[in-house]
Amino acid sequence: MPDLVLHPRVAPAGTLRVWLGLFDADMAPVDIAWKLDGITVSAEAVQPVAPTHDRGARSFAGIFDLAFPAVSGIRHRIEARIAGSDPAELVVRSVPANVPADDWLRILLTSCYHQAEDRRGLAGRTSREIPPAERPDLTILMGDQVYLDLPTLKNFPDDETKLAKKFEASYAANWRHGGGLADILGAAPSISCPDDHEYWNNFPHRSPFIQNSWKEASRARWKNAADHVYDAFQLAAPSARGDNIEIDFDLLSIIVLDQRTQRRDDRTASLAPHGLAQLEDWVTRVIEEEKFGAVVTGQSLLDEPMGNLKGRVADWMLANYGDYAGVVKALERLADAGRPVLLLTGDVHWGRVTAIKRGTRTKFYEIICSPTSLVSTVGSDQLKTLGAGFRRFFGGEPDPWPRHADPPDPEPYFAPQIFGKRYATEALHKQKGNQMAMLALRRAAGTLHAKVTYYQVGETLKRPVEVDLKLLK
């Protein structure tokens, strides 16, 4: 029997937007019957249901807005029915319009989820066990929601049909009932930021570990297959791939930068051709509307550029691309308007909170949350685990995360090749291990009070760690 799945998506306040997926099906549903709180309603197809790729897909996806006005903060029960499948249900709140003064606006942050390393569903369990009063209002998935290029060193078929079916299966393992990310995707309306493993490591560049990336024609086939499934499962429709996505509240505006899907192989730009102008327009608007700004990126803006050899073998950083100066100068303009800017990212497989200061004034806070489930690294993992065992044998302290790297100190200065030593950094907190984080904000004293809470994703539930950023001023 086909498996019908619903997940909420970020939408304008007062709107309930739903991603609908149908798995193990021969064709897209002809008719979908919708109910909201038990009442039959109509729904507008923002992205009509279609195959997740054009190579004989067995899964279908679409996005719908329910035509019933939703009240902010009220939980609604949504039901969808199609012929030949059990009905699907979803209980969700619409994204609020305002940052509250008597409670917190809560934003769940995740990145880097390798489903094969989370067979016991610990990420979903951690999400479910967040107390009801502290559940997120929205979720931002900050990159590497899937690892399409794994297992490492596997020589994938250089055939677009076979690649598309393999990628479809990777997404299905995370998105459908009981899948790795299903509880997180269902907890609150979500939005995704893409990074390289939505394609392959260091996309769009050649990778020494991905044989399919060695030839231009092979890269094109892989990209085309990955584009199709990305659009079906993660794209923030009605926007197009490459668009930056803006989410607005009364005092806060969030922009999710797509610096991956149209990244140039010659490293002239990480953003789409219109992406930098869109960022500049957003900065101007946020300043004019006297809001606080938060920027989501797939990689850290603090990372310095990679040298030629390491960039080709491992990853190029954002600072290696021609539009990096334009991005950080635009954000400096926003910070100079008098409000600290929040930089939200993942990618690096450790967590950290960093204050970026000009003199005594904090101009930026960077919040890194990574990974939700650490990807396996052949050889390195075995050596690290063996070393941890030797340390325990000789009386050393046990390491609960032997495969995870210790978070390093941030680079001493933010974008020194652009700003020199204008912005110094200070690490406020470091977080090791599998994790997710909750960014919480509330209105206070004419500004916003912000805090970050890290949740360990592990066998043993540990007390969450709270990092208080206090008043943003």
**Going residue by residue through the chain (473 aa), what tens digit of pLDDT does each one get?**
899 999 999 998 778 999 999 999 999 998 999 999 999 999 999 999 999 999 999 999 999 999 766 667 789 999 999 998 999 999 999 899 999 999 999 999 999 999 999 999 999 999 999 999 999 999 999 999 999 999 877 889 999 999 999 999 999 999 998 889 999 999 999 999 999 999 999 999 999 989 999 999 999 999 999 999 999 999 999 999 999 999 999 999 999 999 999 999 999 999 999 999 999 999 999 999 999 999 999 999 999 999 998 889 889 999 999 999 999 999 999 999 999 999 999 999 999 999 999 999 999 999 999 999 999 864 444 334 434 443 443 445 668 899 999 999 999 999 999 999 999 999 999 999 999 999 999 999 999 999 999 999 998 878 999 999 999 99
Taking alpha carbons only, the member of 65, 315, 352, 343 closest to residue 208 is: 315
3-state secondary structure of 438: strand
Note the pLDDT of residue 387.
42
Residue 5 near residue 79 (C-beta atoms within 8 A): no
What span, in angstroms and rounded, lies between the C-alpha atoms of 410 and 152?
29
Note the pLDDT of residue 382.
35
Residue 171 near residue 221 (C-beta atoms within 8 A): no
Note the pLDDT of residue 70.
61
Taking alpha carbons only, the member of 261, 257, 224, 226 closest to residue 142 is: 257
Taking alpha carbons only, the member of 164, 148, 155, 147 closest to residue 210 is: 155
Q: Which residues of 187-276 form beta strands (DSSP E)? A: 190-192, 245-248, 252-256
Residue 416 near residue 423 (C-beta atoms within 8 A): no
Note the pLDDT of residue 462.
86
Residue 44 near residue 60 (C-beta atoms within 8 A): no
Question: Cα-flanking dihedrals φ and ψ of residue 319, to 5°?
Answer: -70, -10
Q: How far is CA 204 from each of CA 125, 168, 190, 300, 354, rounded to the nearest angstrom?
A: 34, 20, 26, 18, 29
The tokens of 225 are what?
């297959």
Residue 344 near residue 247 (C-beta atoms within 8 A): no
The tokens of 241 are what?
């791939």
Note the pLDDT of residue 320.
98
- Segments in 41-149 forming alpha helices (H): 122-128
Q: Please, what is the Cα angle at 286 between 329 and 343, to 5 degrees?
A: 55
Note the pLDDT of residue 379.
43
Taking alpha carbons only, the member of 227, 323, 223 closest to residue 266 is: 323
What span, in angstroms and rounded, lies between the C-alpha atoms of 175 and 187?
13
Q: Which residues of 375-415 form beta strands (DSSP E)? A: none
What span, in angstroms and rounded, lies between the C-alpha atoms of 257 and 200?
19
Own/partner pairs, 301-306, CB within 8 angstroms, 24+ separation: 301/327, 301/328, 301/331, 301/343, 301/345, 301/366, 301/414, 301/415, 302/343, 302/354, 302/356, 302/366, 302/410, 302/411, 302/414, 302/415, 302/425, 303/411, 304/411, 304/416, 304/417, 305/417
Q: How far is CA 101 from each of CA 215, 218, 443, 444, 445, rounded to the nearest angstrom?
A: 55, 53, 5, 6, 10
Q: Record the pTM.
A: 0.95
What span, in angstroms and rounded, lies between the C-alpha atoms of 183 and 141?
13
Taking alpha carbons only, the member of 324, 396, 336, 327 closest to residue 364 is: 336
- Segments in 70-207 forming alpha helices (H): 122-128, 160-175, 182-187
Type and span of the H or E element at 282: helix 275-288
What span, in angstroms and rounded, lies between the C-alpha atoms of 62 and 315?
33
Note the pLDDT of residue 383.
37
Residue ranges and CATH numbers for the domains of the chain are 1-97 (2.60.40.10), 98-471 (3.60.21.10)
Note the pLDDT of residue 397.
60
